[in-house]
Structures are given as C-alpha cells and as structure tokens.
Structure 1
Amino acid sequence: MHPITWLLLTYKVPAEPSAKRLALWRRLKSLGAVYLQNGVCLLPKTDEHVRRLKVLEHDIATMQGDCVLLETVALDPTQEDKVIARFKADRNDQYQELLRRCQDFEAEIAKEIAIQKFTYAELDEEETDLKKLELWYEKIRKLDFYDAPLAVTAQERLQDCKARLDHYAQMVYDAHDENR
C-alpha cells in the first residue's frame, strides 16, 4: 500500500489586521485542512487542493506574510493514522453539530404538531430548514476525506428528519382537505 501524500502549508502573517488572519484560517478550514499547530496545516494532496493552496500562497504574500507549501508523507503507519484521526475528529465535530441541529429540527416539527399548526407557510419554512440541513451535510461530506464515524449516523438522522417532515406535510394536507 502506498503512503498517503499530503500538502503541508506553513505560514506566518502579520497579527494586524486580525480580520485578514481570521479570513485565511476560515478559508483553510473550509477546504477541510487540519491544523497541526498555529500556522501549520495539512490537506490530502489533490489537484484541487494544490490549486487552492497556490492561490492562498499569493494571498498570504499580499498580506505581507510568508508561507511554504510542501508535499509530504508520514514517517510510518502510526503517524499516518494520527493524521487521519485528526481529519476524522474534525469532521466528527461538524457532524455532531449537524446532529444537534437535526434534533432542533425534529423538536420544531413536534412542536408544530402539538399546537396543530398545519399551515402551508409553516410547511414551506420546515422544508427550507431541511434543505439547509441537507446542504450542510453535503458540505461536510465533501470534506470528509477519510470517512469519519459519524457520517453514517448523520445521514440516517437526516433521513429521519425527512420522514418527519413528510409526516407533517401529510398532516398539513389532511388539515386543509378537512377545512373544505
């Protein structure tokens, strides 16, 4: 088995303005990078990641900063496993937050049923909220390079949310048929 190849980015940017430093951090996190320490992060080596990091290299230079971009592999399987575990932990944190939002979504549906608020406007709002959850899941999944353990749970929970929404939708339709 071939070792996994990563891109290692080390950078240093001026402390001020902090908004630029924070924007850089957000951009790296949005790519799925894991930080080994401040200013040192890793991404799996892909053509897309190489392109995106080259753009960031230019951006860092315009911030009066400095960076080095390297291709690297782990020294041994144990080190490789440690790095993969960091990627999985980051994604699990994101899936965990998604699961909390799914719980909120389910509670909202239960509340609407309890108060018998069977309106098309409410149904539309709940459908929009579910779509946001689904898009968020897809965004996390795209960054889940090593199949974090909570991925399956999150997918199943989203299916549960969809089923609850479908049940609520049927109640809305039934309520409107009774009012005619």
Structure 2
Amino acid sequence: MEWLILIYKIPAEPSRYRASVWRKIKEIGAVYLQNSVCILPFNKKTERVFRKIKNEIENYGGEGYLIKADFIGPENKIINLFNDTRDEEYAEIIEKCHDFFYELDAEAKAAHFTYAELEENEEDLKKLYNWFEKVRERDYFTSFLQEKTYQLLASCRACLDNFGDQVFAREDMDNID
C-alpha cells in the first residue's frame, strides 16, 4: 500500500494559520505520526487535498514536504491508528444517538406530539446522518464502530418514524373533534 506523508513547519504566529491547517488535516481524516507529520493512504483525492494544504502552509510562510512512501514491514500499527481515530468519532455520534433516543422518549412521555417537535427532531437526525457521512468518508479502513453507528442511526430513524406516527394520530384525533 502506498501512503502520503505531509511534513510541515508553520510560523507560530498568527496561531490561526496553525488552526486552519490542523482543521483541514482533521477534516480529511489524516492522522499524526508526530508533531507536524501526518499521513494518509495514497489516492488521487488525498494527493490533491494534501497538495492544497501544503500550498496553504507555504502561503503562510511555512515549509511543507509531501512524500509518497511504502512501509517496510507491517502497516497494522498505522491502520489501527486510523481505525482508533475513526472509532472515537463514531463513539461521539453513538453518544448523540442515545441523546436522541432520550429526547424522543421525553417528548413522548410529555405527550408533545406536535409538528414543531417532529420537525426539530428530523433536523437533529439529519445532522447526525450528515456527521456520520463525513466520518465515513474519511474512514479509509472501515473501523469497528462504523456498522454499529449506522445501525444505531437506522434505529433513530425508526423511532422518529414512530414519533411521527403519533403526531399524525394526534392530528387525526383533533380533526375528529
């Protein structure tokens, strides 16, 4: 397997430059091997993104080096580092899914079967799905929690559909009166 390694040095000030580079590196799913040394599996997309980041670093007055490399020996340690990082992100989504279940349960117990509540919860679920898709796009090695997170999101969808049925049933009852 081929890898891309970005090694960079960026001026300490202004700190927003470092923060901008860090956010972009995190967004694409690269992991740090050590300070200012990050790695991604090689493909055309990752090369394009790393080249843009390297250019940004140089525009900020820093130095950037992009290296295409192969590991000598097993790559399991690096792959595990990627998977562990993605699993941390999936764990956050899983936690938010549990919050979503709790919220729907609280609304049902309080009999808040309104369109406003349904719409608010639909937006929350949409955000969770969008977050999941962003993590999944940078999950290069299909980490352990990907499938569990997907299944939990499907359960959130089913619970929201059930809540929606209750909203519609309430509306139908109100229209009978």
TM range (shorter): over 0.9
Number of the residue aligned with 2:77: 82
- 1:60 maps to 2:54: no
Distance 1:155 1:40 in 2: 31
Number of the residue aligned with 1:126: 121
| Higher mean C-alpha deviation, range 52-61 or range 155-164 | 52-61
Number of the residue aligned with 1:47: 44
SS at match of 2:65: strand
Number of the residue aligned with 1:141: 136
Give the paired residue count: 175
Residues 92-114 of structure 1: per-residue CA shift (max 9 Å, x gap): 00000000010111111001001
SS at match of 1:179: helix
Unaligned regions of 5+ residues in structure 1, if any? none
Distance 1:165 1:55 in 2: 41
Structure 1 outlier segments of 4+, above 2 Å: none
Unaligned regions of 5+ residues in structure 2, if any? none
Q: Which amino acid aligns with 1:25?
A: W
Residues 117-162 of structure 1: per-residue CA shift (max 9 Å, x gap): 0101110111111111111111111111001000011011001100
- 1:5 maps to 2:14: no
- 1:23 maps to 2:20: yes
Distance 2:161 2:27 in 1: 32
Residues 34-81 of structure 1: per-residue CA shift (max 9 Å, x gap): 00111000011010111111111111111110011101111101xx00
Distance 2:97 2:22 in 1: 27
Over aligned residue pairs, what C-alpha RMSD do you find?
0.7
Distance 2:129 2:53 in 1: 29
Percent identity, aligned pairs only, is 39
Q: TM-score, normalised by structure 1?
A: 0.95
Q: Which amino acid aligns with 1:90?
A: T
Residues 13-54 of structure 1: per-residue CA shift (max 9 Å, x gap): 011111110110110110110001110000110101111111
Shift of 1:89: 0.5
